[in-house]
Amino acid sequence: MKRPVIKDQSPVSLTGHFTGYVWCNHHLSPTSFSSILGKLMYYSSRPADWLSNATIGVNLEAMLLQRHCLLDELVNQAIDDGVTQIIEVASGLSARSLRILTGRPNHKLTYIEADLPDMVAWKKKRLKKELFDDDRFSIVECNILRQEGELSIEQLLQNVNQTAKTLIITEGLVNYFPLDVIEGFWTRLAYALKPFKEGHYLFEIWPKVPDHPFAPIIFGTQKVIELITRQEVPLHYTSNRQIKAALEGCGFSHASVIDPDSAFNANSLQEPKHRLKMSTPTLFRVVKATA
Ligand SMILES: C[S@@+](CC[C@H](N)C(=O)[O-])C[C@H]1O[C@@H](n2cnc3c(N)ncnc32)[C@H](O)[C@@H]1O
């Protein structure tokens, strides 16, 4: 049977420019990380985001900031719990690595970013412009669709320190793939993490929200993103229980699902300083899984 052709380029990288601009706009990234493309996408989305916020209280920008800040908090918690090696897959134009490393100048940490080749080339130019130079940081090419050899997660994880307590992060990646593809990646990731002293995976996922009061409008937003990326952006699972079961079914020994609203309400985590909270429930979940 003919194998499907795997490309190392993706229209999904466009959305990395969009979120990159959001992070810059809220001073979470240096301005050099923004692009004209990101700015254009950001300002074209303003009217729709304003309207959905004013009418139904759903604000994409607020949710992106909630996501980014909550993941920061959880990464910091993981470091406090002993993680010394972080691998952020599909890192795009996020400056989390810079924030974490500059915030812990004397910490024995390794931070590896990984993304498709074009995004890596773009990011390297920006890092050079920022004069960012930290021996603990590196950026490599990776394509989660490749199951072996160059660019595969398997090869990446074989070439890092397996005796270090390790955290894999993906942000803004999972819902760009059909369920069977992303579950395939999770299964390979869980397997590749088994030899590690400790292997954790932290990511966000956007489930189907049939019981949300404004579900039809939310599905409309999903269609707009599909138009930009010229591909389907499927929502996965309908409950926290299903998400947990899926991760454990893929080979992770334990998974827990965090509802950002309760995480913030419980005050167990600091709220994003921007306090761009919505008046309706947030639409994504954060998952912590251990291999
Ligand atoms: C929505 S952006 C998120 C970027 C960043 N994590 C953030 O939150 O700003 C999606 C990222 O996934 C990357 N990506 C898309 N397909 C990929 C693949 N097959 N393997 C690895 N990365 C991929 C894109 O290049 C892009 O940087």
Contact 280, 58 (CB under 8 A): yes
Average pLDDT, the chain: 90
* Residue 135 included in any domain: yes
| pLDDT recorded at residue 267 | 53
What average pLDDT does this structure show over 74-79?
A: 97
pLDDT of residue 281: 82
> Which tens digits make up the pLDDT trace of 103-120?
999 999 999 999 999 999
Q: Which of 173, 204, 226 to mutate to test the pocket of ligand 1 (most atoms within 8 A of CB)?
A: 173
Ligand 1 atom at minimal distance to the Cα of residue 64: 8
Which pLDDT band holds residue 283 (cuts at 50, 70, 90)?
confident
Task: Give the C-alpha separation, 163 to 248, whole Å.
Answer: 23
Name the more confident of 272 and 278: 278
Share of the chain above pLDDT 90, in %: 70
- Out of 5, 6, 8, 13, mutate this one to test ligand 1's pocket (max ligand atoms within 8 Å of CB): namely 13
Q: Is the pLDDT of residue 264 over 70?
A: no
Does the residue 155 lie in any domain? yes
The verdict on residue 6 lying in a domain is no
- Is position 3 within any domain? no
7 within a domain of the structure (yes/no): no
Closest ligand 1 atom, residue 20 Cα: 9
Identify the pLDDT of residue 216. 64
CA of 6 to the centre of ligand 1 (A): 16
Residues with CB under 6 A from ligand 1: 10, 12-13, 15-16, 19-20, 90-94, 115-116, 119, 142-145, 171-173
Instruction: Tell me the per-residue pLDDT of 209-238, one tens digit each, with 9 for 90 and over.
Output: 766 666 666 666 677 777 777 777 888 999
Q: Please count the structural domains in the chain.
A: 1
* H-state helical runs in 27-142: 36-56, 60-80, 96-103, 117-129
Residue 1 lies in a domain: no
- Give the distance (Å) from ligand 1 centre to CA of residue 99: 19
Quick check: 269 pLDDT over 60? no
| C-alpha dihedral (134, 169, 81, 285), degrees to nearest 10 | 140
pLDDT for 227 equals 74
Looking from the CA of residue 8, the nearest atom of ligand 1 is 19
CATH number at residue 38: 3.40.50.150
Q: Which atom, in ligand 1's list, is nearest to the CA of 67?
A: 8
CA–CA separation, 69 vs 31, rounded Å? 18
- Please name the residue whose Cα sits nearest to atom 13 of ligand 1: 90
Rounded distance from Cα 122 to ligand 1 centre (Å): 13
**Which pairing describes strands 137-141 and 110-115: parallel, antiparallel, or unpaired?**
parallel
In this prediction, what percent of the chain has a pLDDT beyond 70? Answer: 90
Ligand 1 centre to CA of 91 (Å) is: 6
Parallel, antiparallel or unpaired: strands 198-205 and 285-290: antiparallel
Residue-number span of the structural domain to which 68 is assigned: 13-290
pLDDT digit string (tens) for 9-61?
988 888 999 999 999 999 999 999 999 999 998 998 888 778 877 877 778 88
pTM for the model: 0.93
Which of the residue ranges 126-130, 196-200, 279-283 would you say has the lowest mean pLDDT? 279-283
